[in-house]
Structure 1
Amino acid sequence: MYLRDGGGGSAPAAPDFGGTRTLRIEPSAIPGALVAFREAFDRVDAKVRALDGLEVRRWADDPVSGEAVTEFTERTNGGGADSAIACLRGYREQLERAIAALESAKAGYELTEGTNSAMWGTRDQGVG
């Protein structure tokens, strides 16, 4: 049975990247959260770049391996909302928005409260 015949199972539901998400964080935790979100962004971005460059080759000269390569490529780099690359790009965009929101909140607190390192707890978190 070929994958195209339905032997691979039904298609999963598309992920939902829409809607508004809320992140509540104490002002003193913002520097540490920024470090964590930036690290997560860098790791996800590296995976997106790796997946973009992924080349899958046939391992045999038969119809099954040819269809497997086609199916794998569609599920990883295909244009569908349920492809791995679409999910990772959506997650990367969410991380970008979270970082921007945290940076904006940090700037707002610094504007009103100053850059008092005791308030921000930057000594304890290794953020300068």
Structure 2
Amino acid sequence: MASEDHGHGADTGSPPPLSHTLNVEREAIPSLRSAFAGALSKLDKQIELAITEVRVRPWAGDPVSQDAAERFNERSLESGDSALIALENYQRQLKSAMDALTLVEQQYQSIEEDNTGLMGQQGGR
């Protein structure tokens, strides 16, 4: 049985990419930006601590502690799915959300200016 394309390209059997939309009222933007900025500030500190303070050294100076330290550092800081990478990905998402809020705020402002201009034109007739 043939699958329908629906304009999305060939059916690969995998779900389409997720698209997340959040409707934000203009009045909520400053408090959202403040919340995101606060979270980002805390996260920046945690990332800095992870980079400078989390790495461990072989505490007993023997091969077992050497191996344990290497594994801990790899898992915490260096591997592709490390805790540090997860924090950095979250940091990028917060920055992206803040950029999106700025764009939405600019769009609201532009629409408001357009509407004000139209109201002025209609009132002048």
The alignment's TM-score, normalised by the length of structure 2, stands at: 0.68
For residue 53 of structure 1, give the secondary structure of its aligned residue in structure 2.
helix
Gapped runs of 5+ residues in structure 1?
Answer: 1-17, 115-128
Aligned to 2:101: 102
The percent of aligned pairs where both chains have the same amino acid is 36
Cα RMSD over matched residues? 1.8
Gapped runs of 5+ residues in structure 2?
Answer: 1-16, 114-125
Supply the distance in 2 between the matched residues of 1:46 and 1:22 (Cα, whole angstroms).
Answer: 29
Supply the distance in 2 between the matched residues of 1:33 and 1:73 (Cα, whole angstroms).
Answer: 35
The alignment's TM-score, normalised by the length of structure 1, stands at: 0.67
User: Which protein shows a greater Rg?
Assistant: 2
Residue 113 of structure 1 and its aligned partner are, at CA, apart by 2.4
Residue 64 of structure 1 and its aligned partner are, at CA, apart by 2.0
Residue 75 of structure 1 and its aligned partner are, at CA, apart by 1.1
The count of aligned residue pairs is: 96
For residue 61 of structure 2, give the secondary structure of its aligned residue in structure 1.
coil
RCO comparison, higher one (Cα < 8 Å, 6+): 1
Residue 19 of structure 1 and its aligned partner are, at CA, apart by 5.1
